[in-house]
């Protein structure tokens, strides 16, 4: 008998294996394991108290992941230095798309999820099928591919796979993004919101600086500078905003054009940031997007006239003004020349088409 467990004793079964049991009042109850084991202790207490033992509920930890699976790869992504260098907003968006993929069934109607699948079993046909399912939402397809490629990169580093099956895929969803405003839409907005109003100030900054939403909300009055430098041997002074892009960290100096200067000079300084709410506080990125939607509706503009679309509008105007691709890149802060060339190609296509059709008209007139 055990001193710490009265009524319990050990014995050897017919296979000479040591076991434990509890005896009382002519009843014998087998006890699992040995003293000290949680299962043994619960069974012993239940026997003493004359009840059935309560089995411990086994729960899977929500962050648990099988080795070499997408779930395990995602955990490594979040531990990486590259991930920690990303902006919180980028981390949030990538987390949303990654977790949506991880919780997607491998086959419709079956319980198996991608988070439990080994990365080495993921093939190009799987990526194509996932993208095909999002053919009508190219933004979602693009973000999902980015999320999966982060996990593939980790799998390569860990030597779980020898190559990334998503690399250089021939089919990718077309991503046009938000559109530029038309001249007519710009004219209607300016007519509805005159200089001195907050909507006009937001509009002018987003348009004539080509800023992203995060830079529009953070722009400060003290970033407006008068800069003097030498150009071709002559001293030149310019009025400009000197800022650092939040998304890229790129330092930009953007000259203030007369159209923007007029709006700035007609606005009241009510805080450190150029744009403030009615209470004098800076806008959050999300709230400014919502306000712009309200302002465009008030101006009776169609859907698609967004804050980011004004950045696209400056790119369009630059291209139509014959600005070079390099000039567009330096003003908008693009690192990717292909992105900047989209504006130049579109403007050139329109210009060349007009010139070509004018020649057709001239020829027909001469023939007539």
pLDDT, the chain, mean: 84
Q: What is the mean pLDDT of residues 258-272?
A: 92
Domain count, the chain: 3
Find the range with the poorest average confidence among 14-18, 64-68, 152-156, 208-212: 64-68
Query: For 112-141, how does the pLDDT look when each residue is reduced to its tens digit (9 = 90+)?
Result: 899 999 999 999 889 888 887 776 566 778
**Is the per-residue pLDDT at 61 higher than 80?**
no
Q: Note whether 42 and 77 are same-domain residues.
A: no
Check residue 177 and give its pLDDT.
57
List the CATH number of the domain containing 316. Answer: 1.10.443.10
Q: What is the mean pLDDT of residues 6-12?
A: 86
Q: Note whether 92 and 43 are same-domain residues.
A: no
Q: Note whether 76 and 132 are same-domain residues.
A: yes
Residue 184 — pLDDT band, cuts 50, 70, 90? very high
Q: Note whether 188 and 334 are same-domain residues.
A: yes
**Is the per-residue pLDDT at 41 higher than 80?**
yes
Query: For 140-170, how does the pLDDT look when each residue is reduced to its tens digit (9 = 90+)?
Result: 788 888 899 999 999 999 999 999 998 877 6
* Edge-to-edge strand ranges of the sheet holding 27-31: 8-12, 18-24, 27-31
Give a yes or no: residue 364 inside a domain.
no
Q: Note whether 329 and 278 are same-domain residues.
A: yes
Query: For 193-239, how does the pLDDT look when each residue is reduced to its tens digit (9 = 90+)?
Result: 999 999 999 999 999 988 888 899 999 999 999 988 787 778 888 88
Q: What is the mean pLDDT of residues 90-116?
A: 88
- Select the more confidently predicted residue: 34 or 95: 95
CB 189 within 8 A of CB 305: yes
Find the range with the poorest average confidence among 63-77, 163-177, 336-350: 336-350
Q: Note whether 272 and 134 are same-domain residues.
A: no
CB 331 within 8 A of CB 254: yes
Give a yes or no: residue 200 inside a domain.
yes
> Where is the domain boundary, 157, 174, 198?
157
Residue 18 — pLDDT band, cuts 50, 70, 90? confident
- Where b means 16+ CB within 10 Å and e means fewer, 167-180 reads eeeeeebeeeeeeb
Q: Note whether 98 and 141 are same-domain residues.
A: yes
Percent of the chain clearing pLDDT 70 (strictly above): 87
Q: Note whether 252 and 113 are same-domain residues.
A: no
Phi-psi region of 33 (alpha: psi -120 to 50; beta: other; left: phi over 0): left
Residue 19 — pLDDT band, cuts 50, 70, 90? confident
The residue segments making up the domain with residue 124 are 70-157
Q: pTM of the entire structure?
A: 0.53
**Is the per-residue pLDDT at 342 higher than 70?**
no
Residue 175 — pLDDT band, cuts 50, 70, 90? very low
Q: Note whether 303 and 192 are same-domain residues.
A: yes
């Amino acid at each position: 008998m055990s001193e710490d467990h009265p009524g319990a004793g050990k014995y050897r079964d017919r296979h000479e294996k040591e076991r434990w049991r509890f005896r009382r009042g002519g009843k014998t109850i087998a006890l699992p394991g040995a003293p000290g084991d949680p299962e043994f202790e619960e069974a012993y207490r239940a026997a003493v108290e004359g009840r059935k033992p309560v089995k411990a509920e086994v729960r899977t930890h929500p962050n648990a992941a099988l080795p070499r699976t997408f779930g395990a790869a995602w955990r490594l992504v979040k531990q990486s230095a590259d991930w920690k260098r990303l902006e919180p907003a980028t981390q949030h968006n990538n987390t949303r798309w990654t977790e949506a993929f991880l919780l997607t069934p491998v086959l419709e109607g079956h319980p198996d999820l991608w988070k439990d699948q080994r990365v080495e079993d993921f093939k190009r046909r799987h990526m194509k099928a996932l993208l095909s399912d999002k053919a009508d939402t190219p933004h979602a397809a693009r973000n999902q591919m980015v999320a999966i490629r982060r996990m593939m990169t980790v799998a390569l580093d860990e030597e779980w796979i020898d190559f990334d099956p998503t690399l250089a895929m021939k089919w990718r969803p077309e991503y046009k993004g938000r559109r530029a405003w038309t001249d007519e839409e710009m004219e209607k907005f300016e007519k509805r919101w005159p200089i001195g109003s907050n909507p006009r100030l937001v509009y002018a900054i987003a348009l004539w600086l080509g800023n992203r939403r995060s830079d529009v909300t953070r722009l400060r009055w003290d970033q407006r500078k008068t800069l003097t430098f030498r150009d071709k041997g002559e001293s030149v002074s310019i009025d400009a905003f000197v800022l650092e892009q939040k998304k890229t960290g790129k330092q930009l100096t953007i000259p203030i054009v007369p159209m923007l200067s007029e709006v700035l000079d007609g606005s009241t300084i009510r805080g450190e940031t150029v744009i403030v709410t009615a209470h004098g506080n800076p806008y959050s990125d999300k709230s400014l997007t919502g306000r712009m939607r309200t302002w465009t509706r008030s101006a009776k503009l169609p859907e698609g006239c967004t804050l980011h679309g004004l950045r696209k509008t400056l790119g369009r105007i630059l291209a139509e003004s014959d600005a070079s691709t390099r000039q567009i890149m330096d003003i908008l802060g693009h690192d990717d020349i292909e992105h900047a060339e989209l504006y130049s190609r579109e403007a050139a296509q329109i210009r060349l088409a007009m010139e070509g059709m004018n020649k057709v008209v001239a020829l027909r007139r001469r023939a007539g």
